[in-house]
Structure 1
Amino acid sequence: MFTMRLLPLLVIAVYGYSLCLAADDPVQIFLSHIDNATANLWAQLETDNDHVFLRNDLESFIHSYDTDNNSHVTMGEFFTHFLKDDPDLGSVAYGLFQEFDVDQNGTIDTKDLDTVYARIDMNGDMRVDEAEFKQYFKSLLTILYLLHIQGIPDPGPIE
């Protein structure tokens, strides 16, 4: 089963593109990395091979960050797990948390996940297919990565 602990590795793969000094078009290289990152994320989250990402899949996706099992993921819990593999991605972690904490109350809870799922489910049929999933995460990861490479300050330690 996929855990959110693997999400930083996915972002690291995207981040690694900037270290590449290939003669090819850097925009195409970047887009290729984003495509690969979202394809890998889909493969990790869509574990039952029914080609659908359901609302309960999103719940499982975020549940691994809820270390005190109180049905709320705080920014501290999110950062602790997300930054284990690459502490340099604080601005990306912060952006993801802000995206998932829809009501901006400092925690990710069921109400937030309902809204996030509705964002991913672009056609509103309560079933997220691979195309919807990839479109959402490509957009999100592209924005967060571009902010990261622009040097948007890391918010620092979160308590």
Structure 2
Amino acid sequence: MIAFLVLIGSVAVYGKHYSCIHTNHDQLLPSQVVSNVIADIDKDGDGIVEPTEVQAEFVARYDVDKNGSITEDEFVTQWHRHYLDVRNFVGYLFHNFDVNNDMSLTDSDLVALSKNLDTDGNGEISIAEFRTYMVNLYTNCVTAHGN
């Protein structure tokens, strides 16, 4: 009994468990969720995921307190509410987006992530590059930033 209580206490103190196994409350496939994310970000429909579009989406949807930094709780709550992915999976997404591992999403994370996503090095993130990255997160359990 004591060992069980110590184990439970350790989990509470040392953090949450995140799962890279995708589950969605509406039974949407990863490709469907990624398509929805792309539709939300690429507002002008030009096929380019522009940093200003990503920043606008993140600020509008996820930075609930409008302080310029998105906490894990803000991100998980809003992503879950909008895309209906289970919370453990959304925590996994957050930690992949948090490039500098400071437990918040800021402009510096978006800049670093943009560099990782621009696989052809042309200075722009195409929808295809963005889709490939996101589908990898959803289906291949990418556990490190851009790897």
The residue that corresponds to 1:16 in the other structure is: 27
Alpha carbon RMSD of aligned pairs, Å? Answer: 2.7
Q: Is the 8 A contact 1:58 1:117 kept in 2?
A: no
Residue 87 of structure 1 and its aligned partner are, at CA, apart by 7.5
- The 3-state SS of whatever aligns with 1:83 is helix
Residue 88 of structure 1 and its aligned partner are, at CA, apart by 7.2
**Alignment of 1:42 onto 2:54:** no
Q: Which runs of 5+ in 2 are unaligned?
A: 1-22
**Alignment of 1:133 onto 2:130:** yes
Residue 113 of structure 1 and its aligned partner are, at CA, apart by 0.8
Work out which of the two has the higher radius of gyration on C-alpha atoms and give 1 or 2.
Answer: 2
The code of the aligned residue for 2:128 comes to A
The code of the aligned residue for 2:75 comes to F
Structure 2: distance between partners of 1:46 and 1:88: 21
Residue 135 of structure 1 and its aligned partner are, at CA, apart by 0.8
**Alignment of 1:91 onto 2:102:** no
Q: Which has a greater percent of helix?
A: 1
The residue that corresponds to 2:49 in the other structure is: 53
Q: Which runs of 5+ in 1 are unaligned?
A: 1-10, 18-32, 148-159
How many residue pairs end up in the alignment?
A: 120
1:77-136 superposed Cα distances (whole Å, 9 cap, x missing partner): 112222336887121111111011111111111111111111221112221112111111
Q: 1:67 to 1:37 in 2, by over 3 A?
A: closer
Structure 2: distance between partners of 1:143 and 1:38: 14
Structure 1: distance between partners of 2:76 and 2:37: 19
The residue that corresponds to 1:21 in the other structure is: none
Structure 2: distance between partners of 1:100 and 1:108: 7
Q: Is the 8 A contact 1:101 1:107 kept in 2?
A: yes
Q: 1:77 to 1:133 in 2, by over 3 A?
A: same
- The 3-state SS of whatever aligns with 2:38 is helix
Q: Is the 8 A contact 2:33 2:83 kept in 1?
A: no
The residue that corresponds to 1:106 in the other structure is: 103
Q: Is the 8 A contact 1:122 1:132 kept in 2?
A: yes
State the TM-score, normalizing by the size of structure 2.
0.68
